[in-house]
Amino acid sequence: MAIKLIVGLGNPGKDYQAHRHNVGFWFCDALAYSYTGTFKKESKFFGEVAQVNIAGVNVWLLKPNTYMNGSGQSIQSIAKFYQIDANEILIAHDELDIDPGTARIKFSGGHGGHNGLRDTIKALGSNDFYRLRVGIGHPGDKSQVADFVLHTPNKSEIEAIQNTLADSLNVIKQVVKGDVESAMKTLHTT
Give the closest residue to 68 by CA, choosing from 126, 5, 113, 2.
Answer: 113
Rounded to the nearest 5°, which phi and psi values hold at 112? Answer: 55, 30
Which residue range(s) make up the domain with 16? 5-188
Question: Is the pLDDT assigned to residue 142 strictly greater than 70?
Answer: yes
List % helix, strand, coil for the chain (3-state, nearest 5): 45, 20, 35
- Whole-prediction pTM: 0.96
Helix axes 155-176, 23-34, angle to 10 degrees: 60
Query: Catalytic amino acids?
Result: 21
Half-sphere exposure of residue 85: CA atoms within 13 angstroms, side-chain side: 5
State the Cα–Cα distance between residues 103 and 98, nearest whole angstrom.
7
State the chain's mean pLDDT as an integer.
95
Question: Is the pLDDT assigned to residue 133 strictly greater than 70?
Answer: yes
Cα-trace Rg, the chain:
15
Give the closest residue to 93 by CA, choosing from 82, 105, 78, 84.
Answer: 105
Angle at 175 between CA 112 and CA 170, to 5 degrees: 100
Tally of domains within the chain: 1
Q: What is the pLDDT of residues 86-127, one digit of tens each?
A: 999 999 999 999 999 999 999 999 999 999 999 999 999 999
pLDDT at position 189, please? Answer: 84
Confidence of residue 190 (pLDDT cuts 50, 70, 90): low
CATH number at residue 85: 3.40.50.1470
Mean pLDDT on 10-18? 95
Q: What is the pLDDT of residues 154-178, one digit of tens each?
A: 999 999 999 999 999 999 999 999 9
CB 190 within 8 A of CB 167: yes
